[in-house]
Amino acid sequence: MPDIANLDRRKRHRPAPSLACRAAPIDPFELWSVHRHKAREALQEAVFALQITHARTSIVIGKIENLENRKQLQAQSTRIGTLIDLAWCRLGDI
């Protein structure tokens, strides 16, 4: 009867990879810099999309006939615009 352990492919010994195939060590600062750059790009896209949506919403608010509702929505829109401006400022810090 054959030895089952010797037939198992996972247990076979593979030759060690040559030193030329091994990756160079990764600099942690470089890794963090890449991560920060990707996060900044993602935030920029999100804030830009929010800014476009806010502009479209502002146009719709201007067409509302009920004066009281329009004033309330314009006040809310102003606060949202301020938050978008703050988000752009914070992106400069990243």
Question: In the structure, what pLDDT confidence band is assigned to residue 33 with cuts at 50, 70 and 90?
Answer: confident
For residue 94, give the DSSP letter. Answer: -
Q: How many domains would you assign to the chain?
A: 1
User: Whose structure tokens read 């309330």?
Assistant: 72
| Domain ranges, residue 67 | 37-94
39-69 pLDDT, tens per residue?
889 989 989 999 999 999 989 998 989 999 9
| Predicted TM-score (pTM) of this structure | 0.57
* 36/20 Cα distance (integer angstroms): 30
User: Whose structure tokens read 């076979």?
Assistant: 12
The answer to whether 39 touches 33, Cβ cutoff 8 Å, is no
3-state secondary structure at position 30: helix
* 46/57 Cα distance (integer angstroms): 16
Is residue 3 assigned to a domain?
A: no
Share of the chain above pLDDT 70, in %: 71
Is residue 31 assigned to a domain?
A: no
Is residue 29 assigned to a domain?
A: no
